Structure 1
Amino acid sequence: MSSIALKRLYGKIAVVTASTDGIGLAIAQRLAQEGAKVIISSRKENNVQEAVKKLCSEGLDVKGLVCHVSKAADRQKLFEEAHKIGGLDILVSNAAVNPEVGDVLDCSENSWDKIFEVNVKSSFLLAKEAVPLLRQSKAGRIIFISSIAGFQPFDLLGAYSVSKTALLGLTKAAALQLAPDDITVNCIAPGVIKTKFSSALTSNEDAELEILSRIPLNRLGKPHDISGAVAFLASDDGAYITGENIVIAGGMASRL
């Protein structure tokens, strides 16, 4: 992507989880391009180092930490780092797992627990733990990354789909609670974005053609299709938007 002329986030500090690849990396890159200091994270040290190296080589202000979002100590380190560099204005909760494919009622209990621990509980805890710092910001922002599957479940992603529906409700409830603090809470629901994570849906030509048949724009999304919307919500341009679940899916059906 070419350099971004807008600098709507100059002076802001952002934490983006699961941000060393795919959608998360694109979000971190875009926030930094718009002037934010960004703390990226991933479960693997090598991935963090490579992503930091890449973004710093582009002249962006980025730091990286290892963080497994299910671990309280790791989450604490993210917010301690943010506090060290000046506070926190933007939290983007992007981490998600899907250890098992299949219909929802065929999901094993272990996989169900892991999916909800990472996709839902960790998002809740990240938001809860970020609030003290966000209250000190002039315009705090929480942005959850859900999925089109949260609106319209995919057969192969049954339990994952339900976890992403839960984020839609978390967004609505948290937005009401935090509005008096001038903290907005919104959610992005990406469609099928061409990443490693979506490979289960696009693993062969027939599967990809089936997915494309559901997308009026007739193409898979790209990570930067999501990152621009996140930057908008994080900026002053999105200051009067809260409690919303925004679908970015090329026109795919999205109705609960």
Structure 2
Amino acid sequence: MSPVLDCRDADQLLPALRQARQAIGRGELIVMPTDTVYGVAADAFNASAVARLLAAKGRGRQSPPPVLVSGPDTMRALVAEVPGAVDRLVERFWPGGLTIVLPAQPSLRWDLGETRGTVAVRMPNDKFALELLEDTGPLAVSSANLTGKPAALEIEAAIQMLRDSVSVYLDGGLVDTGVASTIIDATGLVGRDSRPVTVLREGAVSRSDLREVLGDLLEPDPVDPDESDAA
């Protein structure tokens, strides 16, 4: 049985960070709390570790994991360009539940799966997660569950699904929100062929909140079928 360490216990906090850091360094998987749901994490720059993460969840390379970062400066090192609109989004919603897809920095040597030259980045609003990210650097992180199953909101659910595929489980208690991050595609803001920002998954950040920052740079809201035939 893989060890379970309580991040809320002051006596276990430093050992938890140390064991998690060592596991990541060995190319192994950990489960960690975030501000949205529990995540299963691997070194973003270790291709075999990322492949192990996808296999543990029962996913293929066509579903690459997002990358959690400790702050905007790390994001800038991972992406090719940060448009002004993305800067405004980061200022408003980070740390928090907004994942932003941008063109990846082409000089980076990593393999997250079939990303088509992009990377999805987020800064979580969780003290322990941020402290760990400061130690490990960027982590490939996906929800700690088997594909098709509900995301884990407490450590026991993650353990039941992922079992010994994970080397270290970090227990932060019941997740407060349990709402996955909103994912947006901002790649259209980079380059000459300007396209609006699209919402790939609605979650913790609403469309109306995004609209306050982006205005017309956000795709039009979907039409309610009950209203489309209205006079």
Fold-level similarity (TM above 0.5): no
> Highest relative contact order (Cα 8 Å, sep 6+), 1 or 2?
2
TM-score, scaled relative to structure 2 = 0.28
Higher helix share: 1
